[in-house]
Structure 1
Amino acid sequence: MIFAEYLVLSSLVLGVKLFLYQTQQIQFVEVGDTAKIHCSSKENLEGGSKMFWYLRREGETPTCIKRCLDDQNVSKFTCKHETHGSTLEIRNIQKSDSGIYYCAFRYSSYLLFGNGSRLIVGDSYTNSSWVMLLVPFPHGIQATETVNLACVIHGVSSPVHVSWNVSGDLQEQGLTRSVKAKDGSLTLINHISVPRDTWASGKIFTCEVKFNSSGNSVKKSARYPEVHSSRCESQMVRFAVAIFLAVLMVYLSLAWIAAIPVQPSAKLLKQDCHDGFCANNMQFA
């Protein structure tokens, strides 16, 4: 959603009608296979000579991994061109190649970016993985217009696919932030904001996490609770929820610091690419 807004803004500023589309929102690939990520446009992409590909791994800044003009050099990454499209092929893919891939087109001194495709390589699940759904306590949302729900995925080795549904209706994907532990494992926090009335309507909110391509997933569900507990029980529940929310705030604070999102329009200072790789010398606003 943020990418779409920036793309519209950058197009208006630059006076162009070029939009890049990446329809593969999520792709699971086994280690050692070849992944293909497609980017298309209604406009002519000029043979792909002005196309670039960027990769953003969890908790890292985006890096230019391929300049399609250099495709005569044999490398791990290969560009395949059509008049209105460009496909990035990644051979002998490894778990370290997991992340979000963005196509980009050079227009004047700017880059216009696609909306991104998430690539998950292998199985992200580990022996220490668990999923928890955090929801607000009823007595704490009367003064707010919206409520936040968070799906915490702890101890994974690489990104996962998170989706939300409300009583069976698929919702937009939430915003994900990540924290990397000293052992290299990731804790991911995916959260959504919904109107207070929607949460209080009694509908069931479900967070589904997919770790690999096998189809197995973990689901955590919750609904607005009807409170019939005693005063003592109510205080205990509030205390427990307060602890959960405190932990969530710490994770979110760390994640916002650790994760730096890519901007979909960037000033092109230099673009030095050798043997199929580009120097990370883009200045992002």
Structure 2
Amino acid sequence: MSHQTVGVILIYLQMAASEEGIQIQQSPTQVWLTPGETAQLDCHSSKVEGRIMWYKEQQGGSLQWIYQSFESAPSDGKYSSNVNTAANSFSLIISNLQRDDSGVYYCGLSAFLYLQPNFGNGTRLIVTDASEPSLSILVPFAPEDAELPPVIPLLCLLSDFTPPWSAVLWDTGEQVSEGQMDAGAIDGNGVFSVWSLTTIPSETWNQETNCTCTAKESSPGRSINATVSKETGPVLYHQT
């Protein structure tokens, strides 16, 4: 086969994938399960497909191929699939979940058929059996003789929690306000964390003001908090 013929085929495949405007949808967006349970992640293609590839996002942001779903696809012990080609539906089944199965999973078209990347919107799987969340405040480190910046950033980290822990309140000595929560991330140990950032003036920090971060549970109304000041440093959370 000539190089010219190969080039024509590649261009045709690229145009075909682009013109078809194939849509891939995943559900659910996020799922919380405990170790030992089984997860089902669903993927739907707007075009009839023979198979769908599944990937797991790595710490560096790259995608690692883990499985391919198609009719009569064999189980490898950890992963299996449930496929309904009539409905263009492909499901990834993950059995005997463990902490390190936590992560964001993506389904995508076979790289053997399409050259243009085409992935679903992703499903975040969180596996935890923690009975209580962990709450801490992170402060920037600076040598004692270093000049402080005009404002001091404080990061409230809520880790290893399960719904309905959500809302975070900040008390910086001057006002109490609801903190904006980040979308969160999963670390290399499979622990899911969200965080809230606030800042206080360096003058307030130098006055050794206690700054408190509080995480609230919507039901039955419990809360935990962590406190930090220039004098005491971070104080471990306690429950109220």
TM-score, L = length of structure 2: 0.53
- Point out where structure 1 has 5 or more consecutive residues left out of the alignment: 1-12, 142-146, 195-204, 210-214, 223-235, 245-285
* Partner of residue 38, structure 1: 42
> Per-residue CA shift, 1:40-88, capped at 9, x if unaligned?
34x12424x2x11112355674311101248432323222223242211
Q: CA deviation at 1:191?
A: 3.8
Q: CA deviation at 1:103?
A: 1.3
- Counterpart contact for 2:157–2:196, Cα < 8 Å: no
Q: CA RMSD in A?
A: 4.8
Query: Does residue 1:174 correspond to 2:183, yes or no?
Result: yes
Structural mapping, 1:135-174, within 5 Å: 140=150, 150-153=155-158, 163-164=166-167, 173-174=182-183
Matched to 2:74, the amino acid is: N
- Counterpart contact for 1:102–1:114, Cα < 8 Å: yes
* Partner of residue 81, structure 1: 83
Shift in CA distance, 102/150, structure 1 to aligned 2, threshold 3 Å: farther
Shift in CA distance, 65/191, structure 1 to aligned 2, threshold 3 Å: same
Query: Does residue 1:101 correspond to 2:105, yes or no?
Result: yes
Query: Does residue 1:114 correspond to 2:117, yes or no?
Result: no
Distance across 2 between alignment mates of 1:94 and 1:125 = 16
Q: How many matched pairs?
A: 185
> SS of the counterpart of 1:86?
strand
Shift in CA distance, 189/165, structure 1 to aligned 2, threshold 3 Å: closer
Matched to 1:108, the amino acid is: Y
Q: CA deviation at 1:90?
A: 1.6
> Per-residue CA shift, 1:150-206, capped at 9, x if unaligned?
33246x6xx97784568999977524374x5xxxx6776634579xxxxxxxxxx86
TM-score, L = length of structure 1: 0.46
Q: CA deviation at 1:29?
A: 2.4
* Partner of residue 19, structure 1: 23
> Per-residue CA shift, 1:115-172, capped at 9, x if unaligned?
221222341469xx73125699xx956xxxxx97733246x6xx97784568999977
Matched to 1:150, the amino acid is: L
Task: State which of 79, 90, 94 in structure 2 corresponds to 1:90.
Answer: 94
Matched to 1:119, the amino acid is: L
Shift in CA distance, 25/70, structure 1 to aligned 2, threshold 3 Å: same
What fraction of aligned residue pairs are identical, expressed as a percent? 22
Q: Which has the higher strand share?
A: 2
* Partner of residue 227, structure 1: none
> SS of the counterpart of 1:113?
coil
Query: Does residue 1:53 correspond to 2:54, yes or no?
Result: yes
Matched to 1:22, the amino acid is: Q
Higher relative contact order (CA 8 A, sep 6+): 1
- Counterpart contact for 1:54–1:64, Cα < 8 Å: yes
Q: Which has the higher helix share?
A: 1
> SS of the counterpart of 2:26?
coil
> SS of the counterpart of 2:156?
strand
Matched to 2:117, the amino acid is: L
> SS of the counterpart of 2:25?
coil
Matched to 1:63, the amino acid is: Q
Distance across 2 between alignment mates of 1:217 and 1:21 = 36
